[in-house]
């Protein structure tokens, strides 16, 4: 995807404005798609495992081996798996929850080095307002570049 932006001369990877625009537009989209894939993968039935999901298999394996001295089990439940600690809380640390959650803060994220160009909170809000109504990512990226350039030109 990014190669096509470069080939069409829409993206210059050496330009700070373009890199910041990539971060603003594409990082949330990439993270959203990774999360969708993770959820789908962990919840899809495996025919060879009696249609149980990877999440069900992992949970079953951990609970089946809770009384063993396995390093993997100890890493999850601690040295004393029968302590007063709440098993639901421990499983939640590994993304397994008894009730569905909408809290996006609990999901792991990809760490990407931030761009050198830094906008103030007000400038970031202005850029987000300029692009929030756009759904096509390429157009959104171009509008983001334009908004950032406009902001930087008014500073000078």
The Cα angle at residue 55 between residues 36 and 51, in degrees rounded to 5: 100
Beta carbons of 127 and 24 less than 8 angstroms apart: yes
Q: What is the pLDDT of residue 20?
A: 95
Q: What is the pLDDT of residue 130?
A: 96
Encoded tokens for 137: 């990512």
Residue 83 and residue 137: Cα distance in Å, rounded?
Answer: 50
Q: What is the pLDDT of residue 85?
A: 54
Q: Indicate the SS3 state at residue 115.
A: coil
Q: What is the pLDDT of residue 106?
A: 59
Q: What is the pLDDT of residue 84?
A: 46
Q: What is the pLDDT of residue 49?
A: 95
Look at the block and give the residue holding tokens 């929030």.
132
Q: Indicate the SS3 state at residue 52.
A: strand
**For the chain, what is the radius of gyration of the CA atoms?**
22
pTM exceeds 0.75: no
Instruction: Point out the residues of the chain with pLDDT beneath 70.
Output: 79-88, 90-91, 97-112, 156
Q: What is the pLDDT of residue 87?
A: 67
CA distances from 75 to 2, 80, 129 (A): 39, 11, 45
């Amino acid at each position: 995807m990014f190669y096509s932006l470069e080939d069409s001369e829409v993206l210059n990877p050496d330009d700070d404005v373009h890199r910041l625009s990539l971060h603003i537009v594409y990082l949330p989209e990439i993270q959203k798609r990774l999360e969708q894939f993770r959820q789908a993968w962990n919840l899809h039935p495996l025919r060879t495992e009696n249609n149980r999901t990877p999440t069900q298999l992992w949970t079953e394996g951990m609970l089946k081996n809770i009384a063993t001295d396995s390093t993997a089990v100890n890493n999850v439940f601690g040295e004393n798996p029968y302590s007063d600690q709440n098993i639901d809380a421990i499983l939640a640390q590994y993304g397994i929850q008894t009730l569905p959650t909408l809290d996006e803060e609990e999901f792991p994220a990809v760490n990407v080095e931030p761009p050198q160009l830094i906008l103030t909170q007000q400038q970031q809000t202005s850029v987000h307002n300029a692009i929030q109504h756009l759904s096509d990512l390429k157009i959104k990226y171009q509008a983001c570049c334009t908004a950032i350039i406009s902001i930087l030109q008014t500073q000078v």
